Structure 1
Amino acid sequence: MKKNSKKKYLFYAILIGLILLIKGAVYSDISVEVLKEKYANEHSKFVEIDGMQVHYRDEGKGMPIVLIHGTGASLHTWDYWASKLKEKHRVVRMDLPAFGLTGANSNGDYSIENYTNFLTKFLHKAELDSMYLVGNSLGGNIAWNFTAENPEAVKKLVLVDASGLPTNKPQPWIFKMAKTPIVNSMFLYVTPRAVIKDNIEQVYEDDSKISEDLITRYHEMALREGNRKAFIDRAKTDFKLGDNSNLEKLKSIKNKTLLIWGENDNWIPLDNGKRMDSLMPNSKLIIVKNSGHVPMEESPKESLLLFEDFINN
């Protein structure tokens, strides 16, 4: 009888512990209006595209530079680059659909084709027909697809750890989770700060560069109303990585292209950069030492210098 009582108390103790653990990881959506107060500034603008209020910033004057972020990020990932480049250039960056203050796309289509169409519409609204085009990760994939279709609009192309080719690495666990039924439903409510921190640690090589403010920004942007569902929908999208049409598209890009790659990228490894460089007829690959998947954020000075040398020469 006593053994049964002990088992029962142990069961209840574990159950209560799990409830408290889950409760501490449950976060409600944050309204875009609340986030605007913290993450929009005097340079922030909003333009309607496909029913979305797209958040973007347009700063400086001169030859335009368009910066496109990657999965889970926002236009803030380019803060350092933008702060320096706007002194001599017009710098335009946006929150892609599914991310940042822009939020979910009403049609739920997160294919590269739809993202490329979105970029085309955005550039038209911003009255941009000639630019230096820069993209990181997913943003890089969008950038090179756009360039393949609109080569005359891109003066020079810069791809920072860009996606678009299959990797020899297993898919990051958060994408696997987003594709798993039931588990992905929990993600709509249970989104621990620790999960976001772990993700950032995966894309950074040097964890000492990860600040609490950085984690907070990524976490709060993930909690923007609609973004968690959008992340799940995007993760389930088949991007057809590495099919023949994809490879031929890369080969067709004649624009001068700089490939900037973090030496220790755990999401899209350096081998992908080398293969992309071998496919593109007018490209140059430069490796950023001691850096991961987001060198423009983790190694901003080094990566910006590479970019400036490229566009100025």
Structure 2
Amino acid sequence: MQVHFRDQGLPTDSLPLVLIHGTAASLHTWEPWVAELKATKRIITFDLPANGLTGPNANHDYSQKAYVDFLDSLLIKLKINRCILGGNSLGGSVSWNYAIEHPEKIKKLILIDAGGYPLNSTSVPIAFKLAKVPILNNLLEKITPRSMVESSVKNVYFDPTKVSNVLIDRYYELTLREGNRKAFKERLASSKNTASKNNTSQIIKTIKVPTLVLWGDQDQLIPIASAYKFHEDLPNDTLVILKNLGHVPMEEDPKASIIAVKEFIEKIY
């Protein structure tokens, strides 16, 4: 598999920051943070299989295990033995699962509006809804209106006026990448099939590395209750709630959301 990734910032940094985006997003979601951190940190970002320019997985496996194995292969390829690992939404779920499987490789963990617990969403992007509807989801593989992508992106922001046409165009164009729409449908089906199988609380309680839990208080896709649940279950975490931000705080307000990240990275444990 060819992987779209970026290796930016300080090349001599011995503890890189690896960041993983969420469903239907791409490495571009992290570029504002990269701009803030690249003077002092090496930052690795990439498009997960089923997303961005990496595109679909040939074996159509979008399980958590497949993503954890993919991440491990990528870090081995990049010769990264230990890192600070962070992720948003799906990327957050992959991050904490990776920390459980490979604790020796993770120095610190950053979970931004991360998946893991039952969602209890109060609002879901229309693309996510339609991708689960038989017949309609097959149609969406062929016909995907830009307006649907626009609505879905605005849904995960608290302030939709911050969603620019440039941002919508990027999401739309990457959605149209060959194979991504079918992979999107398959990934959501995979997450639905596995979500109820795990005793999430008991698993997360085994994570020992220092963890920053960062959450937009107006997240409707993964509401703030999940932030408090992570805080309750993680034995060694710091919880930071971001006022008037939604599901993707690193996009919606990069400068406000990066403050706690910088402090967490610099803190000695």
Is contact 1:203–1:293 with CA below 8 Å preserved after alignment?
yes
Which stretch shows the higher mean deviation, 106-115 or 81-90? Answer: 81-90
- Aligned partner of residue 235 in structure 1, secondary structure: helix
CA RMSD of aligned residues (A): 1.3
Structure number with the higher helix fraction is: 1
Q: Call closer, same or farther: CA 1:244–1:54 in 2, change over 3 Å.
A: closer
Are the aligned partners of 1:158 and 1:259 in contact in 2 as well (CA < 8 Å)?
A: yes
Q: SS in structure 1 opposite 2:85? A: strand
Q: Which residue of 1 aligns with 2:8?
A: 59
Q: 1:264 aligns with which of 218, 223, 237?
A: 218
- Structure 1 residue identity aligned to 2:7: D
* 1:156 aligned onto 2:105: no
Tell me by how many angstroms 1:169 deviates. Answer: 2.2
- Contact persistence 1:134–1:158 (CA under 8 A): yes
**d(CA) in 2 for partners of 1:174, 1:269:** 19
| Identity in percent | 47
Q: Which runs of 5+ in 2 are unaligned?
A: none
TM-score, normalised to structure 2, is: 0.94
Paired residues, number: 262
Aligned to 1:258, the other structure's residue is in SS state strand
1:274 pairs with 2:228: yes
Which residue type is aligned with residue 161 of structure 2?
Answer: S
- Equivalent position of 1:188 in the other structure: 141
Residue 221 of structure 2 aligns to a residue whose secondary structure is coil
Matches within 5 A, 1:134-145: 134-145=86-97
In 1, the alpha carbon distance for the partners of 2:208 and 2:81 equals 18
Q: Which residue of the partner structure matches residue 26 of structure 1?
A: none
For 1:174 and 1:95, locate their aligned partners in 2 and report how far apart those are by CA, in whole Å.
Answer: 19
Map of 2:200 onto structure 1: 246
Q: Which residue of 1 aligns with 2:240?
A: 286
CA contact (8 A) 1:179 1:235 kept: yes
73-82 vs 161-170, which moves further: 161-170
1:78-100: CA deviation from partner (whole Å, max 9, x where unpaired): 00111121111111010000000
CA distance in 1, matches of 2:245, 2:196: 25
The amino acid across from 1:299 in the alignment is D
Letter in 2 for 1:220: E
State the alpha-carbon separation in 1 of the partners of residues 226 and 109 from structure 2: 17
Superposed displacement of residue 243, structure 1: 4.4
Q: 1:212 aligns with which of 162, 165, 171?
A: 165
Distance 1:80 1:128, change over 3 A: same
Question: Relative to structure 1, is the Cα distance of residues 260 and 267 closer, same or farther in structure 2, using a 3 angstrom cutoff?
Answer: same
Residues 108, 170 of structure 1: alpha-carbon distance in 2 compared, 3 angstrom cutoff: farther
- The secondary structure found in structure 2 opposite 1:259 is strand
1: CA distance between counterparts of 2:145 and 2:120? 29
Q: Which stretch of structure 1 is more off in the superposition, 167-176 or 121-130?
A: 167-176
How far, CA to CA, are the matches of 2:85 and 2:35 in structure 1? 17
Aligned residue type for 1:293: H
Q: What TM-score, normalized to structure 1?
A: 0.81
Letter in 1 for 2:57: N
Matched, 1:298 2:247: no
| Bigger Rg, structure 1 or 2 | 1
- Asked if structure 1 preserves the Cα contact closer than 8 Å seen for 2:81 and 2:105, the reply is yes
Greater mean deviation of Cα atoms: 228-237 or 213-222: 228-237
